Amino acid sequence: MMTASASSSSLADRLPRVRGGYESMADLGRMTWFRVGGPAEVLFTPADVTDLSAFLKAKPADVPVTVIGLGSNLLVRDGGVPGVLIRLGKAFNNIETDGLSLRCGAAAVDANIATAARDAAITGLEFLTGVPGTIGGAVRMNAGCYGHEIQNICVNATALDNHGELHKLSLDELGFSYRHCAISEDWVFIGAELRGAKGDPDAITARIREIRAEREESQPTQSHTGGSTFANPAEAKAWKLIDDVGGRGLVRGGAMVSDKHTNFLINAGNATSSDIEGLGDELRRRVKEKTGISLEWEIRRIGVTAMDPRALVKPS
């Protein structure tokens, strides 16, 4: 393999001094649930909000920035991610309860928020135990399951714009729609305030257990997957459309469509990102050809292919 470590070193030299950490050519495969993908040219883990803001204000304007969370709903392409990739750490995973509200850092894990709400006798957030990832990513895509979405519980969110300026965003400003919010992709969510209703901890615990059991029963939770692959179109369920075009168990290289739930793609052991994305595109082609419906990716895909001139890792 040929790497571009020299170029990543020169990029690191151009970046502002920070209190957090920089890592050149960081292995992103180990950070994603699919366990595939090329490296980040530079990975930045900010020490806190002030550190992140200062970085965004001082970084060279031509350096692209990408933000990731837990890597649960993410596919990193084989050529890696040019520029700086930001991953929020422990300084952003706080969860504080106040009455019926929870103030959460963007790196707080969704399932942990559901548990914190239960401990505070707050109901309405149980569905978060079925949303893999962090609340920052959940706000970004208005994540949801079991009849609930982030927009049902979100009071406001805070974010830094691409110049490092802080914004507190109301529910109206967030502009939620199905698996989408209206905030620019180059803004970094750093926290959210959520609100539920007064509930019974025993009933909340029972619902959380039901959701966990349902996920275990219906989804390939023990496999290397990225969660739901495609958003459900208005007129049908994505899994049914895929099933109807013979997608169940379909294989491409080391990637396959789950036998358990056809809207999940799996790294069967030796898949490349190209295998997984190509398999998804094949499913989209079949569904479009048969039904006229265009499946839209729900999994976020970042980076460049190994054949792209900007690739950090290229075939030898």
> Mind listing the pLDDT tens digit for each residue in 90-122?
999 999 999 999 999 999 999 999 999 999 999
pLDDT at position 7: 54
Among 169, 184, 214, where does a domain finish?
Answer: 214
Could you tell me the CATH number of the domain that includes residue 192?
3.30.465.10
Q: What is the CATH number of the domain that holds 268?
A: 3.90.78.10
Domain boundary among 186, 214, 242: 214
pLDDT at residue 164 in the model = 97
Residue at a domain's end among 146, 179, 214: 214
Per-residue buried b or exposed e for 293-316, using 16+ beta carbons within 10 Å of the residue's own CB: eebeebbbebbbbbeeebbbbbee
pLDDT of residue 9: 62
Catalytic residue among 228, 258, 273, 274: 228
Is 311's pLDDT higher than 70? yes
Is 85 part of a structural domain of the chain?
A: yes
Beta strand pairing status for 81-87 and 40-45?
A: parallel
Q: Is 212 a catalytic site residue?
A: no
Residues 78 and 106 in one domain: no
Q: Which of 41, 149, 277, 298 is catalytic?
A: 298
Confidence band of 235 (pLDDT split at 50, 70, 90): confident
Task: Band the pLDDT of 3: cuts 50, 70, 90.
Answer: very low
Inside any domain, residue 219 = no
pLDDT of residue 316: 60
- The answer to whether position 220 is within a domain reads no
Q: Is residue 83 part of a domain?
A: yes
82, 12: one domain: yes
Check pLDDT > 50 for residue 175: yes
Inside any domain, residue 266 = yes
Domain for residue 223, yes or no? no
What are the backbone dihedrals phi and psi of residue 306, each rounded to the nearest 5 degrees, phi first?
-65, -20
Residues 202 and 272 in one domain: no
**Residue 258 within any structural domain of the chain:** yes
Residues 128, 153: Cα–Cα separation, whole Å = 10
203 shares its domain with 112:
yes
Instruction: Tell me how many domains the chain contains.
Output: 3
Percent with pLDDT over 70 in the chain: 97
Per the annotation, the verdict on 179 as an active-site residue is yes
The residue segments making up the domain with residue 182 are 94-214
Same domain, yes or no, for 19 and 102? no
**pLDDT recorded at residue 178:** 92
Rounded CA gap, 308 and 27, in Å? 19
Give catalytic status of residue 310 as yes or no: no
Task: Give me the pLDDT at residue 144, please.
Answer: 92
pLDDT in tens, 49-82: 999 999 999 999 999 999 999 999 999 999 999 9
CA torsion angle 299 300 303 305 (round to 10): 30
Q: Is the pLDDT of residue 1 over 70?
A: no
Report whether pLDDT(4) > 90. no
Residues 39 and 77 in one domain: yes
* Structure tokens that stand for 238 in this block: 């994505």
Are residue 209 and residue 98 in the same domain, yes or no?
yes
Within a domain: residue 113? Answer: yes
Per-residue pLDDT reduced to its tens digit, 189-221: 999 999 999 999 999 999 999 999 999 999 998
Strand 166-170 and strand 95-98: the pairing is unpaired
| Catalytic pick among 87, 140, 179, 195 | 179
